[in-house]
Structure 1
């Protein structure tokens, strides 16, 4: 591997990809807390429809990821695929401005996640190819931290926009009379998405594979038993991990509708602090995983997830939302980058894209049933039921990962 001068201890390719993700997540995370509100209070979509939209959108992205990873391996052009994916996502965001029905939002989310499906695995191939195994956790942790730093800034921009337009006397929910506020947010969200695409296209070099001796295949037989078990366990976890839109609804919906009744603007501050903690934890988790291995860090993160979900099932005050949603940031910091790094650890070099794509695909396809189950449990059983279900699934998954996933010494970084 050619040595290049590092930037703050990070390979230049990884650093620039971090900038890309930072800008992209500023855009995306401006929309995460806004879109469920837009659907619920402006377009009048029921909870089950919100679950369908999120499930279809994320599952679409995930189906594409394994094919994008395969193509990155086959043709050795991961940057090209990443450019196409980031570009499609950036182009979709301005269409929120003219959305007039939940079906329009479904189409926009589909296009956005279609782009994410194309870009995710090739981007991770670029990160893996630019780093040595002993510093892979640091690289993926840094990338995740930059991603989350953008997620921290995004809601703050939304807060500024709302304050400038409405003033400090804020309503509990932004209904149809505030459609112009949503429009300003949607316009603002399109800008950093476009800038991220420009940085990727201009400043991240293409990685071209020199070896073509082994041809990657999209089938389980191309990957060993340990990786297959890993995929099965994380898929089980994902079936219990529904869209975060349900956490947003739990916090901001009225008590009569199964929520805590926290004012939406107050919740945005919670979301900012949640992301800030995730940044700090992600940076540290990457370094720790390079020393002790990815698996202990992931298991600890899943146990944090279980504790948060059990607590969210019983939470009844805004203070409880503050405490547990912020702790939820530790789960993200401990697992998101480390799961991707672990997938790379367990895969042969010539199948990195295929393996990471398979990881994204299996976990993402599970989001559709996860969100449908959560929507059903919320509406037909109780608003607490989806969180009890998710917490129990996380505990079972943590135990199975600890017991069943036993990589060879060359696959585990200690």
Structure 2
């Protein structure tokens, strides 16, 4: 057969699509530290990263094109078309991300128990793809909430196994670069999606529903790529598989360094609420509905350009210092968005927000991979995403309530306060963290 869907072991065939995007094969290796994974892919050879890292990056990129085409317009659609309040938007966004994070703990633990990552990751991408048509078909807020909920369940199923798979494939000394590359490709999709949304909104005279329909296509392309072009390394026969990872014994085995990483992730997330509030701020200062997605385009361009260099740099220097710099950028973004209600102030705040994302998201994933035992990586990413997801729920609901009570300036000034508290927390909890991991 030309395609071998979702192989779990044994021989693996590279389909024509994978050969076109990434034209060479990958040698059989073993899961663990990435030592056995080699590649002759020209692009991978130039970067020093295994081919599988690139493929997973393209998978994330395509799904983000789809998701961000919808996400860039959804807050505006809820408020201006369906009449939702800002608090409702914050609640929906918080519940959506918390749902994804709670699901990740179970999918991550299951991937450890099975000793396999790809099947669960592909299942998550597939669920997200089949959910995308619900957005243009939804006749009310309740239907959109259901669509967003199911879509985020798919994200939750795929997230921890995918990150654990990256950690399995990546060589030890290139983990920061590997997560940074995936984050950069993911973020390229995150600015291409809103850019396409802008063009379609202009071409169709603000036809939200048509944009949502177009977003279905890249989601199915993403699923096809992970199903047919990603090869999972064989499990290391010398490594004892995890047994029932969701127990107190496994939590202790994760170690104190890992739980310090979780604490750092929580304080980071409390300081950064959903990007939906950037979209609402753009509308608040008078940006036309057609151009509102440009906010996410700009943020994600900066995010994409900074994430990979930050990941590479973090493999060489103290990661905690880079994370602290990211919080300084977030504080600056909140200050600009609160006190400068102009297009220039909006642009400055969005650029600084993107720099914060580039200097934090990939690095936090690399810290988790550094700290977690190989047999518990899926569980480790699951717990991390669970706690940070609950923190995001709290942050987004608080932001929505503050917006309704005090307006956008009050919301972003509160964000500034949270960022400064998070910076103090990072310097306290994260002191010496990078040295212990290296």
TM over 0.5: yes
Give the alignment of 1:324-363 within 5 angstroms.
324-363=349-388
Instruction: Quote how far apart the aligned CAs of 1:41 are.
Output: 1.1
Taking only aligned residues, the RMSD between alpha carbons, in angstroms, comes to 1.7
Cα distance in 2 between the residues matched to 1:309 and 1:112: 29
Give the alignment of 1:8-407 within 5 angstroms.
8-9=46-47, 10-166=49-205, 178=206, 181-209=207-235, 210=237, 211-212=239-240, 214-215=242-243, 217-218=245-246, 219=248, 220-252=251-283, 259-406=284-431
Deviations 1:102-126 (A, max 9, x none): 1111000000000000100100111
Instruction: Quote how far apart the aligned CAs of 1:226 are.
Output: 2.5
**Aligned partners of 1:230 and 1:401 also within 8 Å:** no
Question: Relative to 1, partners in 2 of residues 1:80 and 1:269: Cα closer, same or farther, differing over 3 Å?
Answer: same
State the TM-score, normalized to the length of structure 2: 0.86
Cα distance in 1 between the residues matched to 2:290 and 2:433: 49
Question: Relative to 1, partners in 2 of residues 1:305 and 1:410: Cα closer, same or farther, differing over 3 Å?
Answer: closer
Runs of 4+ in 1 over 4 A off after TM superposition: 406-411
Question: Relative to 1, partners in 2 of residues 1:214 and 1:184: Cα closer, same or farther, differing over 3 Å?
Answer: closer
Instruction: Quote how far apart the aligned CAs of 1:286 are.
Output: 1.0
Question: Relative to 1, partners in 2 of residues 1:42 and 1:214: Cα closer, same or farther, differing over 3 Å?
Answer: closer
**Aligned partners of 2:337 and 2:346 also within 8 Å:** yes
Q: Do residues 2 (structure 1) and 28 (structure 2) align?
A: no
Deviations 1:341-389 (A, max 9, x none): 1111111222111111111111011122211111111112332222122
Instruction: Quote how far apart the aligned CAs of 1:406 are.
Output: 4.4
How many pairs are equivalent?
394
Cα distance in 1 between the residues matched to 2:426 and 2:433: 15
Cα distance in 2 between the residues matched to 1:88 and 1:101: 22
**Aligned partners of 1:346 and 1:407 also within 8 Å:** no
| Unpaired runs of at least 5, structure 2 | 1-34
**Aligned partners of 1:137 and 1:289 also within 8 Å:** yes
Instruction: Quote how far apart the aligned CAs of 1:208 are.
Output: 4.4
Paired residue secondary structure (2:273): coil
State the TM-score, normalized to the length of structure 1: 0.91
**Aligned partners of 2:75 and 2:276 also within 8 Å:** yes
